[in-house]
Amino acid sequence: MQTPKRKLGKYAHLKPDANITEAKYNELKRMLERMKKRQPRAAAEVKLLAEMGDFSENAEYQIAKGRLRGLNQRILDIEDHLKRANIIKTPDNADIVRLGHKVTVEINGKQKEYLILGSSETNPLKNIISNNSPIGSALMGRKAGDRVKVRLKNKEVEYKIIKIS
């Protein structure tokens, strides 16, 4: 049975952001080790199911083969990400906003604090934003006291940088 070919979306071939914290790097290494330990079992399962007869009618074999293929691809992706990783170290100099900095901004009289990291570690609910996001890219390279206008959806918001730490 042939699977249908789907047109890939515009984000399908993007590489993960190379900027990651040391904690994320270590987490990826642990995940890679766990996956490599599971790999021989998955390969053995495929081999066992392959011995059960006709491949075209052996659904268990097809499923196991798909799982092994997915596991192998995930291992390759994580290895590539680790090879290209750029570990974010919090800069000593807090004069200019850079990766790894916490930035306190004022928006319409309210203060908010953002941590600026790479795209693979963002969590808007915890105010961790990407350096590639509209707010993050507008703040990068700015100093305390600067005012930055950011275009969000259908409005423009002005942020005043209060503190960089």
Tens-place pLDDT, residues 57-90: 788 888 999 999 999 999 999 999 999 999 998 7
C-alpha count within 13 angstroms, C-beta hemisphere, residue 104 = 8
pLDDT-derived band at 2 (thresholds 50, 70, 90) equals: low
pLDDT at 24: 93
Q: Tell me the CATH architecture of domain 19-87.
A: Orthogonal Bundle (1.10)
Query: What is the CATH T-level fold of the domain 102-164, as seen in this structure?
Result: Chitinase A; domain 3 (3.10.50)
Domain ranges of the chain: 19-87, 102-164
Tens-place pLDDT, residues 131-155: 999 999 999 999 999 999 998 888 8
Tokens of 42: 């998955």
pLDDT-derived band at 13 (thresholds 50, 70, 90) equals: low
